[in-house]
Structure 1
Amino acid sequence: MMTNLFSSFDPSTSMNLSLNWMSIMLGLIVLPTMFWIIPSRINFMWIKLCLMLSNEFKVILKIKEMKSITLIFLSLFSLIMSNNVLSLFPYIFSSTSHLVLTLTLALPLWLSFMIYGWINNTIYMFAHLVPQGTPPILMPFMVCIETISNIIRPGTLAIRLTANMIAGHLLLTLMGSTGNKLSLLMINMLVLSQLLLLLLESAVAIIQSYVFSILSTLYSSEVN
């Protein structure tokens, strides 16, 4: 029995060790060996998805040929999506619902973009703080607003992913905890609603990984 509503997100185990974080590597174990050897349907689907995402990243980054920088964002998308989807299974730790993981992904990316931009494109970074057409009297305020919005970017990336994963899991937990108090008809309706909600959460798991990688790509394109 859960001690509180958020105990399903507790990373500790019975041995007082945070072994639940090993679920990040669970995707490599779940995927069958045949996926890596013979071009299966799953492999073809994954390659098509990666090519589609790579083309979108190239448009955002304004590059014409394939470059290794798109592999960074493809790897980021794959890592987040695999953890999001795996967390929907019972008794699997939801690692992406913790700021420890999401901030670890967002903060180094944003920091590397900022360091690269301020070292190589200093004038452009200063010019980016003042939008084009801003009246001179509003320029100090716009610099403050743009600076604050730039600083909170890794936090918004991390919190967006964490909040979306926590919200769906909590709703599923709340609905499931009321099952022993309902009649047979209401239980059937509850199971149907939970299946629909699980389908929605599967879509959210993929969409949030896409949003995270696309926003990271947009932040990268602003420093070039």
Structure 2
Amino acid sequence: MLTLHRARLLHTGTGAGTGTVEDGAVLVDGATVTAIGPFDELAGGPARIREWPGLLVPGLLNRHAAWLLETAYHPDPREERGDRPLLPDGDLTDEQRGGSARRGLQRLLAHGTTALAGPLHRTPVRTAVTRSGLRHLPGPDTGPGPLDPLDPRAGGTLEAALHRPLTVGGAADFAVFAAGTAEELAGGGTRCLATVLDGRLLYRSR
């Protein structure tokens, strides 16, 4: 099915200025981007249209995967311990670790993350990542650091947080944020409205 994602501002991550389109759109066929450009140029075909009020950018890369999913614990909402990653009180069973990882992955999606980096050794965690569809990349884990480990933009630039640019023929991995400019996304904190991975809407803000 063809889907045309329209956003007030589109930032493809392909370069300053040239990669930004006002009232832009991304045409998606299944899991693949088939066209990028102004909405007026892409509209009028048979595609279903999704309209987003903010800024559409490529999916983000979180470099704290090992700490977030194998060291930290993501509480179940029924525990009433908040939704931030915590250090576990003791050893976790495989079932508890798998549940924690699944909740952590959902919270990563809620921050615009479509890819993770860092070594993953625990079987229930690797299984949860595979089933989530998020892309797992090799590379060192940078640890949690002093800033928000769930937000890839925390303390840095947007360009450094992007997994890869949005390109025609590439994977339909992107996120939409409640921001008016790309500069507003730098450093984190701006609310994620939606995350799309392989053309699938996996997170939408309520």
Normalised to the residue count of structure 2, the TM-score between the two structures is 0.27
Q: Whose relative contact order is higher, 1 or 2, with alpha carbons under 8 Å and at least 6 apart?
A: 1
Q: Which has the higher strand share?
A: 2
| Pair member with larger Rg | 1
Q: Which has the higher helix share?
A: 1
Normalised to the residue count of structure 1, the TM-score between the two structures is 0.25
